[in-house]
């Protein structure tokens, strides 16, 4: 597969005037890429003779990293869908007081959904960072730069995701509605 041919359409969509894909999709793809790098560094090490303990540890990390990569790719799609629901809610009529109230309820619900996705990406990124840390002392030395790239990329995905969640939750107007997710955001930010 020509990598550029596979990625170019997505980059073109990202660079377009459309709001999606946007930062949330970039964060999710970054998390998936970071997980892929973690798995790659472990697999490269497992091609060489290693002791049974190292083999078991790295095989477990590979399985977790592969799962997190799949999860992050799913979140990439979910981010666009959540954003679409926010846009649809914002387009609801608002000419009368009942329409305004219905629209506000729909917008707040959509914003909560659009906050859950980046929080899930941040949780996945945290797990990827921990996997990279667990692998550091066991992988072959020439793979350490790739593992460092994984950790840095996962941290970037986490930072983007927390910023997105903070923005979305800050736009919720109904008092108390976002409290639970704001608590999770605070915990993840700490």
Q: Could you identify the residue written with the tokens 């959509």?
A: 110
Nearest C-alpha neighbor of 41 from the set 124, 120, 151, 126: 151
Report the percentage of the chain scoring pLDDT > 70. 99
Least trusted range by pLDDT, from 21-35, 116-130, 175-189: 175-189
> Considering the domain boundaries, does residue 34 fall inside one?
yes
> Considering the domain boundaries, does residue 27 fall inside one?
yes
> Considering the domain boundaries, does residue 1 fall inside one?
no
What number of CA atoms fall less than 13 Å from residue 79's CA on the CB side?
Answer: 27
Q: Could you identify the residue written with the tokens 């290693």?
A: 50
Q: What residues contact residue 180 under an 8 Å CB cut-off, 6+ apart?
A: none
What confidence tens digit (pLDDT) does each residue in 98-125 have? 999 999 999 999 999 999 999 999 999 9
Q: Is the separation of the CB atoms in 185 and 123 below 8 Å?
A: no
- pLDDT of amino acid 20: 82
> Considering the domain boundaries, does residue 153 fall inside one?
yes
CATH number at residue 172: 1.20.120.680
Q: How many domains does the chain have?
A: 1
> Considering the domain boundaries, does residue 91 fall inside one?
yes
Least trusted range by pLDDT, from 13-27, 90-104, 148-162: 13-27
Joined tokens for residue 96 = 């009368």
> Considering the domain boundaries, does residue 97 fall inside one?
yes
What confidence tens digit (pLDDT) does each residue in 42-80 have? 999 999 999 999 999 999 999 999 999 999 999 999 999
Is the sign of the CA dihedral 54, 60, 65, 70 positive or negative?
positive
Instruction: Mark out the alpha helices in the chain (DSSP H runs).
Output: 3-15, 23-46, 52-90, 97-135, 144-170, 179-189
- Which structural domain, as residue segments, surrounds residue 99? 22-189
- Taking CA atoms, 38 is separated from 64, 75, 102, 120, 149, in Å, by 10, 19, 46, 19, 9
- pLDDT of amino acid 1: 55
Neighbours of 28 (CB within 10 A): 30
> Considering the domain boundaries, does residue 77 fall inside one?
yes
């Amino acid at each position: 597969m020509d990598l550029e041919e596979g990625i170019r359409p997505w980059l073109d969509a990202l660079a377009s005037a459309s709001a999606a894909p946007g930062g949330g999709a970039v964060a999710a793809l970054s998390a998936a890429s970071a997980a892929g790098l973690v798995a790659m560094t472990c697999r490269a090490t497992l091609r060489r003779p290693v002791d049974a303990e190292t083999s078991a540890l790295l095989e477990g990390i590979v399985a977790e990293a592969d799962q997190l990569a799949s999860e992050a790719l799913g979140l990439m799609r979910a981010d666009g869908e959540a954003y679409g629901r926010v846009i649809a809610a914002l387009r609801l009529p608002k000419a009368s007081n009942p329409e305004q109230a219905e629209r506000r309820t729909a917008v707040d619900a959509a914003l909560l959904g659009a906050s859950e996705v980046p929080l899930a990406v941040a949780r996945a990124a945290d797990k990827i960072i921990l996997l990279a840390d667990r692998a550091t002392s066991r992988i072959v030395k020439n793979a350490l730069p790739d593992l460092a790239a994984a950790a840095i990329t996962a941290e970037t995905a986490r930072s983007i995701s927390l910023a997105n969640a903070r923005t979305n939750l800050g736009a919720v107007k109904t008092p108390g509605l976002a409290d639970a997710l704001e608590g999770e955001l605070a915990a993840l930010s700490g």
